[in-house]
Amino acid sequence: MSDLIKIINNPHDGIERILNRLESANETSFLLCLGSTMTSDLEGISAAGATAADRRLTPRFDAEALILGRTADGSSIPVSPFGIASPVVLTRACLGILRSERLIIDCGTFAPPRVEKIQVGTLPAQCVSSGNALPLDHVYDLFERGLKIGARAAAGKQAVVIAECVPGGTTTAMAVLTGLGNRVSDYISSSIPTGEREMDIKRRFMLVNEGLEKAGLKSEKKILEELDPFILLSKVGDPMQPVAAGCAIGAAAKATVVLAGGSQMLAVHKVAEKIAASMQEENQKNFKENCLVITTRWVAFDRKADTPSLAKALDAPLACTTFSLGESVHAGLKAYEEGHVKEGVGAGASIALANLIEKSDQKTLLDAIDRSYSSLVSPGNSA
């Protein structure tokens, strides 16, 4: 196995087999699932945009930058409150190496991207603290549509990568995992730099508890573990989660599936696992044998979080890329090494697959990402 890939949690001793299949994949599909939640309007809750208004536009601009190499109207690509550029810079560079098919799936955003897309939903989620995030029938519909999209995306492909762009999504991930009976507040990584993390996590935990209480879901662990995941998503989730879970189950019947991200995709994995267990036995078997989560080392080895313990607690297969931006020529990329942004838009999985499938080494990947940064980031935003 490549020295740029590290296995973090291997609950069923199957990650090596999945990675070996990925290594020989000839055709891949990359699905970027966009979603919005009013949770992102709260200041200090997300680094996916400098202001609340910016965060409402981040899914639009990330999708446009991924497809076009720029935003449709010439606006700058999203930056964090500290001015650090979106990880779409990393993903676009690596997908160029992979020559992967790219599909944009709008699950429900404030501002749809102005590129070709699959419009699955139009409802952003209410704030997680409301305990009433999305209508239940809409959540079922999002999942069913995702199931069909995943099956279509896997046709003729050996690998399907499912990525996300959901400002505020780490908070909804925490809410969903907590609602399923998991104690996760000490494990989850933050896109905020480490010095701000304690306040960030405390605030998220308060929002999550408020939402679960309003939804009537604060109860014994056993009861929560048996909770219908669709009901939970409707109470404290976001529109990306049911779509991505459906895509994963649908694609796993024909291809190897990579859930591209950190805690958000660990939450999707847990939701999909529970849903697959309620479907035909073949769905459960395919999902278990063909799906894993891949993230960046900035998430996996975050000293202020414990993603390995989170994956272990969830019994989820997790790997990461050990790729480093420490030698980048751009200070705005080196900032990732200092705890900024860390992950998003499938960055970790895109790096890992460019390395596994195309044999691109650290230098090749870094050169491509540096060029991508120079192309995508305007001088006014190049920290």
pLDDT digit of tens for each residue in the chain (383 aa)? Answer: 678 999 999 998 899 999 999 999 999 999 999 999 999 999 877 777 778 999 999 999 999 999 999 999 999 999 888 899 999 999 999 999 999 999 999 999 999 999 999 999 999 999 999 999 999 999 999 999 999 999 999 999 999 999 999 999 999 999 999 999 887 866 776 555 545 555 466 778 889 999 999 998 876 555 566 689 999 999 999 999 999 999 999 999 999 999 999 999 999 999 999 999 999 999 999 999 999 999 999 999 998 889 999 999 999 999 999 999 999 999 999 999 998 999 999 999 999 999 999 999 999 999 999 999 999 995 444 44
Query: Would residue 22 count as lying in a domain?
Result: yes
For residues 123 and 68, what is the distance between their CA atoms, to the nearest angstrom? 25
Q: Tokens at residue 113, please?
A: 């991207």
Query: Could you tell me which residues come within 8 angstroms of residue 178 by beta carbon, excluding any fewer than 6 positions away?
Result: 184, 185, 208, 212
For residues 277 and 281, what is the distance between their CA atoms, to the nearest angstrom? 7
Domain that holds residue 143: 5-378
- What CATH number corresponds to the domain at position 79? 3.40.50.10210
Query: Would residue 383 count as lying in a domain?
Result: no
Query: CB-based burial of residue 82 (10 Å sphere; 0-12 exposed, 13-18 middle, 19+ buried)?
Result: middle
Number of domains in the chain: 1
8 A C-beta contact, residue 47 and residue 85: no
Q: Tokens at residue 134, please?
A: 């999305």
pTM: 0.94
Query: Would residue 294 count as lying in a domain?
Result: yes
Query: CB-based burial of residue 99 (10 Å sphere; 0-12 exposed, 13-18 middle, 19+ buried)?
Result: exposed
The pLDDT of residue 220 is 55
For residues 66 and 42, what is the distance between their CA atoms, to the nearest angstrom? 26
Query: Could you tell me which residues come within 8 angstroms of residue 70 by beta carbon, excluding any fewer than 6 positions away?
Result: 64, 376
Distance of CA 117 to the CA centre of its chain: 18
Q: Tokens at residue 162, please?
A: 């499912």
For residues 91 and 75, what is the distance between their CA atoms, to the nearest angstrom? 19
135 vs 14, 125, 233, CA distance in Å? 37, 9, 9
Query: Would residue 56 count as lying in a domain?
Result: yes
Query: Would residue 165 count as lying in a domain?
Result: yes
Query: Would residue 38 count as lying in a domain?
Result: yes
Q: Which residues of 102-122 are buried (b: 16+ CB within 10 A; e: fewer)?
A: bbbbbbbbbebbebebbebbe
